[in-house]
């Protein structure tokens, strides 16, 4: 990946921005994962306690059914053959936990009064007690269904979030950091090459300047020598000494 990235200042700025975004996303996903884990543990604890309670309630309800049948006789077929409106219904809503939507089921009483002739000849109290215990057991069953549905949904969301957190922590962020190190290394190498090139240029200019200074000094020395010779000729008297031959 780093071999396909041009080592430029613009690319370095771009990947630094990506690194900041990746770290910010990692922090947010980590907080989301922690929140989901906390809620996940709470739901698991509630399921455990509710199942333990329902185990006892189921035993009590079935035992109450046996008592009612013993006192009022076999009434199962009569209940199944007689149409009754639903006394308990279920409504749904959605709970949002760290962006994860959890379906919540809640039971409510429709207010329908069940009027039948079961238990008139005997065992009416046992029948009512059996109905109430099963009513409570059904409400707990709805709660358990809600908790288990939320548990499964939370488990899937937690797996996805953890995969994203691990991908950012172990793949994305190290790869971006590696690219940034590669770009910095290449830019440092280019700077060293530029410094060496500039140093050579400066040395060459100094050599040229030194040569030019030397040439100018030689020219100046020649000019001074010519001026001295000119002064000697100025002092020579042509009328007295005649011409000068070189």
pLDDT the model gives residue 212 = 83
Q: Which residues share a beta bridge with 93?
A: 104
What pTM was estimated for this model as a whole?
A: 0.61
What tokens appear for 153 in the block?
A: 């949904």
User: Cα–Cα distances in Å, from 30 out to 15, 38, 112, 160, 233?
Assistant: 22, 12, 49, 12, 101
pLDDT the model gives residue 163 = 92
pLDDT the model gives residue 71 = 67
Cα of first residue to Cα of last residue in the chain, in angstroms, is 83
Cβ pair 136, 77 in contact under 8 A: no
User: Cα–Cα distances in Å, from 188 out to 8, 18, 109, 157, 192?
Assistant: 11, 21, 75, 44, 6
Alpha-carbon 136 to chain mean position: 43
Any idea which residue has 């057991």 for tokens?
A: 137
Distance CA 33, CA 31 (A): 5
pLDDT digits (tens, 9 = 90+) for 99-144: 888 888 888 777 666 656 565 555 667 777 777 787 888 888 888 8
Given a cut of 50, the residues of the chain with pLDDT beneath it are 236, 238, 241, 243-246
Any idea which residue has 């509710």 for tokens?
A: 50
pLDDT the model gives residue 175 = 92
Cβ pair 146, 106 in contact under 8 A: yes
DSSP state, 172?
Answer: I
């Amino acid at each position: 990946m780093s071999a396909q990235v041009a080592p430029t200042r613009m690319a370095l700025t771009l990947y630094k921005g990506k690194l900041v975004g990746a770290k910010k996303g990692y922090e947010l996903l980590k907080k989301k994962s922690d929140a989901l884990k906390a809620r996940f543990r709470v739901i698991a604890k509630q399921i455990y306690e509710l199942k333990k309670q329902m185990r006892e309630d189921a035993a009590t309800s079935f035992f109450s059914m046996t008592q009612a049948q013993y006192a009022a006789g076999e009434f199962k077929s009569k209940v199944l053959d007689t149409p009754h409106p639903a006394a308990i219904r279920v409504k749904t809503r959605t709970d949002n936990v760290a962006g994860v939507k959890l379906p919540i089921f809640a039971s409510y009483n429709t207010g329908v009064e069940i009027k039948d002739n079961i238990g008139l000849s005997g065992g009416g109290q046992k029948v009512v007690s059996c109905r109430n215990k099963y009513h409570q057991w059904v409400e707990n069953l709805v709660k358990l269904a809600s908790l288990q549905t939320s548990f499964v949904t939370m488990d899937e969301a937690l797996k996805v979030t953890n995969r994203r957190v691990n991908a950012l922590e172990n793949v994305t962020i190290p790869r971006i950091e590696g690219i940034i190190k590669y770009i910095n290394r290449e830019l440092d190498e280019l700077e060293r090459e530029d410094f060496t090139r500039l140093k050579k240029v400066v040395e060459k200019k100094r050599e040229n300047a030194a040569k030019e200074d030397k040439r100018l000094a030689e020219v100046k020395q020649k000019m001074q020598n010519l001026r001295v010779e000119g002064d000697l000729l100025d002092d020579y008297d042509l009328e007295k000494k005649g011409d000068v031959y070189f």
